[in-house]
A and B are shown apart, each in its own frame.
Chain A
Amino acid sequence: MAANVFKVLLADWMIGGILTLYFLVGYVGDWSNLRLMENATYDLRSFLRAHGQQSEQIEMVAVDQESLNKVGRWPWPRATQARLIENLRAGGAKVIVFDFSMSEPDRSSQGLEEMRALRQRYTAQIASPQTDARQREFYIRELQSLNESEARLDQDAKFATMLNRSAEVILPLSFELGRPEGAESAEPSAAIAASSFSLIDNPRDMASYPPLKVRKMTAPLPAFQLPQVGFGHTTVVPDSDNIVRRDVVLVEYLDRFYPSLALRALSTYLDVAPDDVHVALGKGVKIGDLWVPTDRYMRTRTSFSGPAGTFKPFSAHHVLGGKIPSNTFRGKLVLVGPMAATAGAVPYETPTGPATTGLEVTANVIQNMLTQSSLTVPRWAPAVELSVILLIGVFVVLALPRLGTKWSGIVAGTILASYLGFVVIMYASKGYVLTVVHPSLMLILAYTFLAAKRALLAERGASSDSGASETNRMLGLTFQGQGMLELAFDKFKACPIDDSMKELLYNLGQDFERKRMPSKALSAYQHIGTKDKHYKDIEQRMKRLSAAESAGAGGKSAGSGSLLAEGSDVKPTLGRYEIVKELGRGAMGIVYLGKDPKIHRSVAIKTMRLDEVEADEIQDVKSRFFREAESAGKLSHPNIVTIYDAGEEQDLAYFAMEVLDGVDLKDLCKKRNLLPVKRTLEIVAKVAEALDYAHSQSVVHRDIKPANIMVMPDGAVKVTDFGIARVTTSAKTQTGIVLGTPSYMSPEQLSGAKVDGRSDLFSLGIVLFEMLTGERPFQGESVATLMYVIANQPHPSPFDLRPDLPKPVGAVIDRALQKDATKRYQRGLEMAQDIRALMQGLTV
């Protein structure tokens, strides 16, 4: 039972089916293990688009280690920061993204605090009545210079002033992921809110395509939250394996949608106000004429130009020092950000390499958007991927098992290569991202499993006898293919009747019908019927056939040249005999039961068809045929089969002999069938007497064996088959003749020497031994061994096999089985006498 379940599980289609199911569910469920592998292929592919070029419209200014060394530790004084931006503005930059956290006041603010405290005191003093006029004047003057100092020192204010004058600056907002709750997530100021994108084309799709929700906003100082300033979020979300592949272009904070720094910069760069940017939730963003495609969660996939360092930034201190040529930044989108860790640079890992700063990531993102080269998952991707998986599933279940190992490998490999090629081309040229892992693994695993199974089974199938029924089925089919239907049926009957067997038996039945062997057809259908009476139309067929059979003349097979035709009333004759029925088929032809009408004697008629014999061989064959008749014909002995008549009619040669209604000794030589000792001795004695007579007539039998000795129910013994299967020594023999197992041959027969009656007696001795013990005295696996044993090895003692045999038997056997013919019984009569003598002394 378990074996059967196992067998089903291992069926070819089952393997394919399980794999398909696994990958289907894995695809739909987006399993993490598959996703990880997919990411690996994704990252590999990114090298296809790592062209290493930097867009001409983007410039980077980095606060790198060099700048820190030159200018000082970060944070730089606000004034320096302002000067940096100013220089860029003076250089004509169109957009300046200043990606530094501006939420802390300037360092110098501590001094400012002191001054403010001082100012308050001075102001209080000025206002106080206790101050005299001269002190008041002092305080007023001091207050004024204090104000001036303050103004000078208040770098934040300076910065704010600078911001006020400009229209190009973009500052970052940082958030935490999650839903806003409580007081931490404060309402943004109007200036910040102004940067949100509010033009939603499909507000009803908000539920289906929810953007990422964020909370706990950290914004630049309130002084910097000016309407002229653009704001963008800096939330970077790496994938589960910590690699940054995407940019979240839009997040939702307190019911407003805030663009990423990159997107905000882009809209300023393209002169499109936030209010005018079209947002199609779940699909993308349209800035003027530029379309930025996103996925359902408003994310883009970044196509990186190369590993870290691909984009070449300017060192911030060069810009501060005014050393950059004046037109470098004219009309460009400038990104200013940290590149040193101490300045706040965060190293991200991207598909193209590790340690890429946020600055460069943003630069890549903007470049993608500008040049429309971001990676997208096309709308048709899920449909295509799913159908590819299903198609490959069908292929794997149905086609793969039927192709040989070689072809299935070639076809699977071709399919795999084409799909991969398609995916790669789509990626490289159009930036379409398609999943690769599911179809590829399906093909690879299916091929591997099937090939492994085939290899294992081929080994195992060859090592076991793999079921006799399998062999019989194969034999049956081969026989059927050769038109040997009855033999095929025999083999099929040895197989269990499962569904495929029923099919084979049904076909065989039809073949029988075609060959006009209706009784056989009936048997075939009946055989199916023992298991399944209602299989196809066998019920009708069986009815029809059995009706025909009872109407016919006994359902004999008509296709084999029998004299007896179906349904005929007239009895045929052969010579002067009437043919009554068929008795069997002998080596040379059909044997019939006949009747001599004149004296009403039943005879057995052995026939041979001469029309199948070749012209030049007819003489030879006929002479051999009649020689048997002649040999036995001139012998007239109660223990030798009597030949009455021989003749020839048209294309048939025949001879008539006595009907023998008995069995031959073959079965009586088996251990369980052994006759009583006395009976055996009786039989052998009679044969010996018969042989004695034959030898006196110069006839040597040459083929004495149990099959050629018959016993009748009344106890009579007859020796048959003088001559048919005999080995001839004619020099005229043309085609080779095959020897049967020479278990009963005498040594002189085997050595090809002259043979006389004593040889027959040797053979009879073997028969005697076998009939007494159930085993042959000389045994060997091959002709060679047997020949050697007969010629050289002494026969075993019969008492070893059957200790209760009468002692004198041993002597008889010993003499009969002498290797040297001169030492044997010289006449059959001698042997018979010895046997009868010892029978006298027996009771059983």
Chain B
Amino acid sequence: MDIVFGAKTDVGLKREHNEDSLCADPKLGLFIVCDGMGGRNAGEIASGLAVEIIQKHMVDAHKAGGLPLIGTMNPKLSPETNRLASAVRLANQVVNGASQSKPGQSGMGTTVVCALLNGPMLSVAHAGDSRIYLVRGENIHALTSDHSLVAEQVRQGILTEEQAEKSAQKNIVTRALGVEESLQVDLDEIELVKGDIILLCSDGLTKGVKPAEIAKVLREEKEPQAACDRLIKMANAAGGEDNTTVIVIAVKQVGAGVWHQLMKHVTR
């Protein structure tokens, strides 16, 4: 698959540290955004560690087929998606272990949203309230649903969306990597077509910028990197309350057909 991507992270206007981490590895087709949380700079440690471990596991799995999987395999999903889930679970165990090894890191955790591109397929794994959107044609779709308290309340009809936005408990996340020994990772698979645009972002973006505006930017800017810069500017213009991280991936060509299937088998 032929893609062009851009990535940017910004500390925002109100915070001293950037506790977000990102990974953009076109060779692996792996893109990750993590938003860390915890005392002092433990958030930075958690998100950085998560990104590092996920990437390392994917590299290792790519080099040596048959690496064991962490967690049970879901036969309904492709091996790539299962491998991605395994990487996220491994990162969870490591961050959880790290959180117990130093008092200052106790209870640290991070949200995680990752995308793995393989041929025409997109594998998505996430836990927390960082998001991944798909812009196709005129529409923008959220591929993930937030694991946050207010999102749950909205889903259960306890709150409306507007109330959720104003809620004082906006920041509470119900699922995060590293907080407990095992993590339930949400997984999904989507087939991409030419012209699709994928956006990974931490909640710093969506707190300030509405999805409709995001879609407009992504459609207007031809260069993904320029789109990233503009989105960050918009987030900061809206107040810059939090760290903001964005990754934009534009799908130029989706290689389908016999040749690619063949190459996929030969190069696996």
**Given A462-B73, A478-B90, A738-B109: A612 and B65 interface contact (C-beta under 8 Å):** no
Question: A608 near B103 (CB under 8 angstroms)?
Answer: yes
Question: B94 near A482 (CB under 8 angstroms)?
Answer: yes
Question: B171 near A737 (CB under 8 angstroms)?
Answer: yes
Cβ of B43 under 8 Å from chain A: yes
Cβ of A463 under 8 Å from chain B: yes
- Tell which of B90, B167, B172, B176 has the most Cβ of chain A within 10 Å: B172
Question: In the complex, how many angstroms separate the beta carbon of A309 from the nearest chain B beta carbon?
Answer: 44
Q: Which residue of B lies closest to A729 (CB)?
A: B168
* Chain A 588-603 per-residue mask, 1 if CB under 8 angstroms from chain B, else 0: 1110000000000000
CA distance A464 to B184 in the complex (A): 19
CA distance A788 to B72 in the complex (A): 27
* Chain B 30-41 per-residue mask, 1 if CB under 8 angstroms from chain A, else 0: 000001111111
Residues in B with CB closer than 8 Å to A589 are 103
Cβ of A133 under 8 Å from chain B: no
Cβ of A430 under 8 Å from chain B: no
CA distance A222 to B124 in the complex (A): 98
Residues in B with CB closer than 8 Å to A466 are 66, 68-69
Question: In the complex, how many angstroms separate the beta carbon of B69 from the nearest chain A beta carbon?
Answer: 6
Q: Which residue of B lies closest to A589 (CB)?
A: B103
CB within 8 Å of B: which A441-460 residues:
454-455, 457-460
CA distance A409 to B73 in the complex (A): 30
Residues in B with CB closer than 8 Å to A486 are 101
Question: B104 near A609 (CB under 8 angstroms)?
Answer: yes
CA distance A431 to B147 in the complex (A): 76
CA distance A589 to B40 in the complex (A): 14
CB within 8 Å of B: which A739-754 residues:
739-740, 751-752
Question: A782 near B184 (CB under 8 angstroms)?
Answer: yes
CA distance A739 to B53 in the complex (A): 24
Cβ of B158 under 8 Å from chain A: yes
Question: A474 near B101 (CB under 8 angstroms)?
Answer: no
Cβ of A676 under 8 Å from chain B: no
Q: Which residue of A lies closest to B104 (CB)?
A: A612
Question: A614 near B94 (CB under 8 angstroms)?
Answer: no
CB within 8 Å of B: which A683-742 residues:
727, 729, 731, 733-740
Q: Could you say which of B100, B153, B168, B268 contacts A458, with CB atoms under 8 Å apart?
A: B268
CA distance A798 to B29 in the complex (A): 53
Q: Which residue of B lies closest to A781 (CB)?
A: B184
CA distance A388 to B90 in the complex (A): 46
Residues in A with CB closer than 8 Å to B101 are 484, 486-487
Residues in B with CB closer than 8 Å to A587 are 106-107
Cβ of A783 under 8 Å from chain B: yes
Question: In the complex, how many angstroms separate the beta carbon of A253 from the nearest chain B beta carbon?
Answer: 60
Question: A613 near B40 (CB under 8 angstroms)?
Answer: yes
Chain A interface secondary structure, helix, strand, loop or mixed? mixed
* Chain B 5-33 per-residue mask, 1 if CB under 8 angstroms from chain A, else 0: 00000000001100100000000000000
Q: Which residue of A lies closest to B203 (CB)?
A: A736
Question: B68 near A454 (CB under 8 angstroms)?
Answer: no
Q: Which residue of A lies closest to B63 (CB)?
A: A404
Cβ of A15 under 8 Å from chain B: no
**Given A462-B69, A470-B68, A787-B156: A738 and B103 interface contact (C-beta under 8 Å):** no
Cβ of A406 under 8 Å from chain B: yes
Cβ of B226 under 8 Å from chain A: no
Question: A783 near B68 (CB under 8 angstroms)?
Answer: no
Question: In the complex, how many angstroms separate the beta carbon of B261 from the nearest chain A beta carbon?
Answer: 13
Residues in A with CB closer than 8 Å to B35 are 736
Residues in B with CB closer than 8 Å to A467 are 68
Cβ of A616 under 8 Å from chain B: yes
Residues in A with CB closer than 8 Å to B167 are 752
Q: Could you say which of A405, A459, A462, A735 contacts B37, with CB atoms under 8 Å apart?
A: A735
Question: In the complex, how many angstroms separate the beta carbon of A621 from the nearest chain B beta carbon?
Answer: 7
Question: A784 near B156 (CB under 8 angstroms)?
Answer: yes
Question: B172 near A739 (CB under 8 angstroms)?
Answer: yes
- Tell which of A467, A478, A479, A613 has the most Cβ of chain B within 10 Å: A478
CA distance A608 to B40 in the complex (A): 13
Cβ of B93 under 8 Å from chain A: yes
Cβ of B1 under 8 Å from chain A: no
Q: Which residue of A lies closest to B103 (CB)?
A: A589
CA distance A486 to B98 in the complex (A): 11
Residues in A with CB closer than 8 Å to B72 are 465
Question: B153 near A585 (CB under 8 angstroms)?
Answer: no
Q: Which residue of B lies closest to A612 (CB)?
A: B104
Q: Could you say which of B16, B82, B103, B168 contacts A588, with CB atoms under 8 Å apart?
A: B103
Residues in B with CB closer than 8 Å to A738 are 37, 107, 109, 172-176, 179
Residues in B with CB closer than 8 Å to A621 are 39
**Given A735-B171, A737-B173: A461 and B68 interface contact (C-beta under 8 Å):** yes
CB within 8 Å of B: which A562-599 residues:
585, 587-590
Cβ of B266 under 8 Å from chain A: yes
Cβ of B257 under 8 Å from chain A: no
CA distance A448 to B166 in the complex (A): 62
Question: In the complex, how many angstroms separate the beta carbon of A491 from the nearest chain B beta carbon?
Answer: 9
**Given A455-B268, A784-B155: A616 and B16 interface contact (C-beta under 8 Å):** yes
Residues in B with CB closer than 8 Å to A409 are 266
Question: In the complex, how many angstroms separate the beta carbon of B243 from the nearest chain A beta carbon?
Answer: 10
Question: B94 near A751 (CB under 8 angstroms)?
Answer: no
Cβ of A617 under 8 Å from chain B: yes
Residues in A with CB closer than 8 Å to B90 are 474-475, 478
* Chain A 27-48 per-residue mask, 1 if CB under 8 angstroms from chain B, else 0: 0000000000000000000000
* Chain B 225-268 per-residue mask, 1 if CB under 8 angstroms from chain A, else 0: 00000000000000000000000000000000000000001111
Closest 6 CB pairs of A and B: A461-B66, A458-B65, A612-B104, A470-B68, A487-B97, A783-B174
Given contacts A462-B73, A735-B171, 8 further A-B contacts (CB under 8 A): A461-B66, A462-B82, A467-B68, A482-B53, A736-B111, A739-B149, A782-B184, A784-B152
18 residue pairs bridging A and B, Cβ less than 8 Å apart: A461-B65, A462-B69, A464-B73, A465-B69, A474-B67, A478-B93, A479-B94, A487-B100, A613-B39, A735-B38, A737-B37, A738-B173, A738-B179, A751-B153, A752-B149, A781-B184, A783-B152, A783-B174
